[in-house]
Amino acid sequence: MPTTGAHRARPRLHGESRLEEIRRLELPGYGTLRETGERFRFSIRVLDSTRIADVVALQSEVLTPLEPPLPLYVRDRAFFERCIRGVGCVVGAFHANRLIAYATLNAPARGQVNLGVTLGLPDEDLPYVAHLAGSAVDPAYRGNRLQPHLVELRDEFARQAGFEHLCGEVVPVNSVSIRNHLAVGYLLKAFRIDGLGDPNFVLDKALQLGPPMMKPCEIRETPTDDIEGFRRMIAEGRWGFRTAKRSSGTVIEYGRFA
């Protein structure tokens, strides 16, 4: 029987020695430009503070045209500095030394919202929760699965830093982000009203090794934007674990896990 967070031996949180190697990694990949069909090479790496201005500029390029605007999700320069210089990180994708996508990781400070509370985690587990804190992809480079590549390196950074849960929020209408996160092991486990009064689904991924989770059973599905259906699935003890295409649109599949 697995032990609780209070009793198992835990790795040291934010161990710098384990993060030096991952900060030196540069992961290559190839994609296709949407407009020209030209193939291009990209690289993924953990960013240092010299790239903060690039991150802020790309965030503005992606979020500014959105309707309605999303002020809650706009991060200032100081936020990205805390992620890079503190216990979090920003992972970026580059083409010809130009930042074309990023994904952030943030550890909630004392007094800030901690999604582990929403998930019902015990108090002793809350310091081991990290947050997905936003991502963006240059529109010209979309369709190249950059987000899953970024997520993979960000998750590994969080794991090496000693975090046990990586949590985030996604709006119900963002079926692409839901699909991308479920495809790399995240589960939809809870529902939360954010600071603007809007409904959000809460994602969670267990990072540290433990007993393998059994396959889902008693599978049901709802459309991705069916908030009441989502709440019903969670109340019945089911978690969202993957998306699927139906003639009516994209659905989330839910199951019970042992």
Kindly tell me if the per-residue pLDDT of 187 is higher than 50. yes
Say what the pLDDT of residue 109 is: 80
In this structure, are 69 and 177 located in the same domain?
yes
Output the domain CATH number for residue 86: 3.40.630.30
Alpha-carbon torsion (3, 127, 53, 71), positive or negative: positive
Whether 13 is covered by a domain: the verdict is no
Q: What is the pLDDT of residue 166?
A: 94
Specify if 2 maps to a domain: no
At residue 40, does pLDDT exceed 60?
yes
Over residues 241-251, mean pLDDT: 94
Distance (Å, whole) CA 165 – CA 203: 10
Burial-class residue 150 by CB neighbours within 10 Å (0-12, 13-18, 19+). Answer: buried
- Clarify whether residues 201 and 223 are in a common domain: no
pLDDT tens per residue across span 84-104:
988 889 999 999 999 999 999
Q: Is residue 12 part of a domain?
A: no
**119 and 132 both lie in a single domain:** yes
- Domain assignment present for residue 1? The answer is no
The pLDDT score that the predictor gives to residue 68 is 54
Q: Do 225 and 129 lie in a common domain?
A: no
- Nearest alpha-carbon partner for 43 in 56, 27, 54: 27
User: Cβ distance 105 to 158 under 8 Å?
Assistant: yes
Co-location of 35 and 45 in the same domain: yes
Same domain, 181 and 74: yes
Number of domains composing the chain: 2
So what's the pLDDT on residue 171?
87
Residue 237 has pLDDT above 90, yes or no: yes
- Say what percent of the chain tops pLDDT 90: 54
Domain that holds residue 233: 211-258
Residue 258 lies in a domain: yes
Do 215 and 113 fall within a single domain? no
Whether residues 137 and 230 share a domain: the answer is no
Q: Same domain for 147 and 224? A: no
- Co-location of 26 and 143 in the same domain: yes
pLDDT at 13 over 60: yes
- Find where tokens 């384990």 sit: 18
- pLDDT of amino acid 6: 46
Does residue 231 carry a pLDDT above 80?
yes
Both 215 and 226 in one domain: the answer is yes
If asked whether residues 243 and 128 sit together in one domain, one would say no
In the predicted model, what is the mean pLDDT of residues 199-211?
84
Count Cβ atoms within 10 A of the Cβ of residue 45 and give its class: 0-12 exposed, 13-18 middle, 19 or more buried: middle
Q: Of 198, 125, 200, which Cα lies nearest the Cα of 165?
A: 125
User: Mean pLDDT across the stretch 70-96?
Assistant: 85
pLDDT of 8 > 90? The answer is no
**Residue 150 and residue 105 in contact, taking contact as beta carbons nearer than 8 Å:** no
State yes or no: pLDDT of 147 exceeds 60. yes
What integer pLDDT is reported at residue 70 of this predicted model? 55
